[in-house]
Structure 1
C-alpha cells in the first residue's frame, strides 16, 4: 500500500497474458479488499486478452436483494452494477461464475456486459453423502420453504423434511412442516450461514422428533464474529450432541482458515467445480 493506505498495485507479466484466456479468482471477504480486487479486475480485460472470466464463489451482498421499506438499500443490486461495468475483452462480455447465489432473481441485476453463470455446491454434498457409513439412512431437511424451493430438485434421491419458522409473541421458533425424521441421519441444507441461529433451532426441532443423527451443509460459511464456535462439540454423533458433521465449501477463505481441523466441520473444495466451469 501507499503511505495513505490506498493499494499500490502492479500486474506482473502483463505482456505475457496478451491473447490468452484469463480467469481471476476473487474473494470479496470484506469491504476493505473489494476496491483493490476491482482495480485488477477492471484492468485485465484492457490488456488485449482473448477472454475474461471472473470467478466469485461467494456473492457477499446476495442476502440484501430487496427493499422492505422506503430507505432500504439493496446492496446486492449495487454490487451487481459495479461488476456489470467490467470492460469488455477482445472475446466480448466477462463470464461471471458464482456459486449458490442467495436469490436466483439476482441474475437479472446484472447488465449485458457480463454473463452470469450460476453453479452449485450441492453435487459436492451428494458425493460426500454417498461416502457415509449410513448413507442409506440419510434424509434431507430444509430450514424453510425458500431452501426447499432452491435445492429440492438437486436432492430428489433422498427423502425430505421441511421446517418452517413460526412466531409466538415476540419469539420465533422452528417447527416441522412436513416429513418424519425419526430414526434418520438428517442433513440440514441451506445456501449460507451467518450467526447459525436458524440451524440450531432446526436441529432442536429435528432432535425432538426422534432424529438419530443430525448434520448440516451450507455452501457459504460466513460465520461473522466467530459464530462458528457455537457449533463446536465433542463430536459424539447423536442428535443430543448437536451436529455430527457440518460441511461447508471453501468459498469463504477466512472461515476456512479459522475452522480447519475443528470438529464437526469438514471443508468441501470448490476447486473441481471451478476448474470444470472454466473449460
Structure 2
C-alpha cells in the first residue's frame, strides 16, 4: 500500500503514512502554459491511499486528475475536509445539490471513501461507493486535556454540534452543554440567552467547523457578559475565511485550536491516527 496526496494535503498525508507504516509516494504537479494542471504519481502500488482535503475548487480538479492517474490500482480515498458539504439542499428551482454532483464525480475510480467530521453525514449517500465518516472528537478532548485549561466547560454553539461536544468531553468527564443558535442567513446568526453556568468557568467552544467565526464571536460576547473566566475555541476544520481567525482573537478568545484537515498555523490536533485506524479496519 502506498499513500499519495494532493498539493494542499502533504502534511496530513505524511502523518497518515507514518501511522500506517506505509511508504509515502511522490506526486508531481505542474502547469501547462494555459494554466491547466498536470499531475503525475510515480511508482503506484496495487493498493493506493489518496489523502486529499478539498478546501477549494482547484483541489477538486487536482483530486479528479489524481484518481484517474491511479487507474489499475485499488484506491481508498480519504477526504479530511470536504468542501461543498453544506450545500446539500435545493432551495430554489435551478439550483444544484452541489455536494451530490461532487460526490458522484469523486466516486468514479475509487473503491471506498473516508471523510472526517463531515458537516452533514447524510450526504454520504451521494457517493457511489462505500463511504464512512469518522469523528476526531476524542482527539480534540485529548489535546485539551494536555493544555493548561483547568476543568473546562465544553460548550457547543448549537444543539446540532452537541453530540460532537459530548464526544470531546466524554473521556475526561467534563461538563458539557450547548447554546441556542438561530441562523438567519449564510453570515447572520443570533444566540439566545441561556443559563449554562459559565460564571467563573474556563469555557471551550467546540464545533466541527469554524468558517467566518461569526457564530463564535456572538457567543463569546454573551459568555463574557455572563462572567466566563476564559473563552477558548477548538474545531476540526479551521476554514477562517474573511479574517475569521483574527475576528476570534479580537473577540477575546485566549486560545484557538484546529486540526490538520486544513493545514493552518493553529493546526495542533491531528486527524491522522484516526484516519489510519479507519483504513486498517
TM-score range, shorter chain: 0.7 to 0.9
Bigger Cα displacement from structure 2, 198-207 vs 71-80: 71-80
Number of residue pairs the alignment of both structures matches? 245
Alignment of 1:40-119 (within 5 A): 40-44=66-70, 46-47=71-72, 49=73, 51-84=74-107, 86-87=108-109, 94-111=111-128, 114-119=129-134
User: 1:155 Cα shift?
Assistant: 3.1
Structure 2 residue aligned with 1:144, among 148, 158, 171? 158
Q: Does 1:223 align with 2:223?
A: no
CA contact (8 A) 1:25 1:55 kept: yes
Q: 1:138 to 1:277 in 2, by over 3 A?
A: same
User: 1:172 Cα shift?
Assistant: 4.7
Partner of 1:7: 37
How far, CA to CA, are the matches of 2:267 and 2:202 in structure 1?
17
The Cα offsets for residues 71-96 of structure 1, whole Å up to 9 and x where unpaired, read as: 33221111111122x225xxxxx221
Q: 1:176 to 1:158 in 2, by over 3 A?
A: farther
How far, CA to CA, are the matches of 1:121 and 1:176 in structure 2?
29
Q: 1:31 to 1:166 in 2, by over 3 A?
A: closer
C-alpha root-mean-square deviation of aligned residues, in Å?
A: 2.3
The Cα offsets for residues 188-224 of structure 1, whole Å up to 9 and x where unpaired, read as: 1111111111000111111111211111111101122
CA contact (8 A) 2:116 2:133 kept: yes
> Could you say what secondary structure the match of 1:70 adopts?
coil
Q: Structure 1 segments of 4 or more deviating over 4 A?
A: none
Alignment of 1:1-279 (within 5 A): 1-14=31-44, 17=45, 19=46, 21-44=47-70, 46-47=71-72, 49=73, 51-84=74-107, 86-87=108-109, 94-111=111-128, 114-135=129-150, 137-153=151-167, 155-156=169-170, 157-165=173-181, 172-232=189-249, 242-253=252-263, 256=264, 260=265, 265=266, 267-279=268-280
The Cα offsets for residues 147-206 of structure 1, whole Å up to 9 and x where unpaired, read as: 1145435534321232113589xx853124352112111111111111111000111111
**Which 5+ residue runs of structure 2 have no aligned equivalent?**
1-30
Partner of 2:8: none
User: 1:52 Cα shift?
Assistant: 1.8
TM-score, normalised relative to structure 1: 0.79
CA contact (8 A) 1:245 1:266 kept: no
**Which 5+ residue runs of structure 1 have no aligned equivalent?**
89-93, 234-240
User: 1:140 Cα shift?
Assistant: 1.0
Bigger relative contact order, structure 1 or 2, given CA contacts below 8 A and separation 6+? 2
User: 1:3 Cα shift?
Assistant: 1.9
> Could you say what secondary structure the match of 1:71 adopts?
coil
How far, CA to CA, are the matches of 1:33 and 1:108 in structure 2?
22
How far, CA to CA, are the matches of 2:40 and 2:224 in structure 1?
54
Partner of 1:91: none
